Amino acid sequence: MKYNRLGQSGLKISKVVLGAMSLGSSDHLKWAIPEDQALPVLKHAFDRGINTWDTSDVYSFGESERIIGKALKHYNIARERVVILTKCYGGIPEPADFIGLSEEEQLRMLSVNDGIMVNRIGLSRKHILDAVDASVERLNTYIDVLQIHRLDRNTPREEIMKALNDVVESGKVRYIGASSMHAWEFQALNNIADKHGWHKFISMQDYHSLLYREEEREMHAYCRDAGVGIIPWSPLARGLLARPYKVTKEQPTLRQTSDVYSQLLVGEVTEMDVNIINRVEELAEKKRCSMAQIAIAWSLKKGVNPIVGLASINRVDEAAEAVALASNGLMTEEDVKYLDELYIAKGELWMVE
């Protein structure tokens, strides 16, 4: 495994980041794997050098964080050898909060800072501090990078940045990062931190893949100019880039049929999408590797550290070997151009709003 600095910080992360959304409980996510299956995956990732793990407090309502904390203890992994990224913004309800509510009502409840979830969602100083305390308790350790999962536009920006600065100063968090928002908003937040001498964001986690490259225009340009590391989520476009489109259409995975976010992200698959997927398949056959490895290697060639959901030992090996594909010359600049040339600009992702 190879490592690089996260932005201009001194922190080094693995070229591929393990995405832990798939580690948790099928009670919350039908496609999530439980602790007994997740622990060996984390150990194998560590053994393969994938030492950077990305989770969130809302993944399986905290279960993903708890499993990561359990892995460190269970396998006696020295804390300084692992980089743990987690997030705050979303709310974690109590089991009793859902009684008598439909699935639609539950989703609505979890998206509004009001009613039973008041002050349990968003980026108020109160919620940031509460969320960090809860994450540290579940992980049973400090947080290397705390990321704001989304931007709370109902809380003053200075309040957000002061609270984030304070959790770093408290020692519970080492660095701060952010996720999907407009580039100008991200710059505005960093400008506030710069003005006050507070800790600034060292990373941006946005949606970026062969099928969605809108972030290259402004967000990635700003990040590179400002020295912010880029760690995109869903580089496989929720699995679309991992299999021939015909197979996906005829035999969708459990996640593709049950993940509401996947359906919102992908939406209607366009002719352009299918053509790009076909080229990924073509290159995979030519280079005798998997389609997922082609898509991951493409991300790496773009100078970012992709976050890849890894829910099996085979997927860990696949991701680790994609790093070699990108670095040993097997994935050429001509290959990258061949994959790039079909892309047509899309509308901005709804999640940025």
User: pLDDT for 116-134, tens place per residue?
Assistant: 899 999 999 999 999 999 9
278: left (phi over 0), alpha (psi -120 to 50) or beta: alpha
- Calpha distance 235→127 (Å, rounded): 30
Q: Could you read off the pLDDT of 201-253 as tens digits, one per residue?
A: 999 999 999 999 999 999 999 999 999 999 999 999 989 999 999 988 777 77
DSSP class of residue 98 equals: G
Q: Which residues contact 288 (CB under 8 A, 6 or more apart)?
A: none
Domains (ranges, CATH) in the chain?
3-238+302-329 (3.20.20.100)
Answer whether 0.85 is exceeded by the pTM: yes
For 269, residues 6+ apart whose C-beta sits below 8 A from its C-beta are 240, 245
Specify whether the CB–CB gap between 180 and 150 falls below 8 A. yes
Residues of the chain with pLDDT under 50: none
- Give the SS3 label for residue 242: helix
Catalytic (active-site) positions = 59
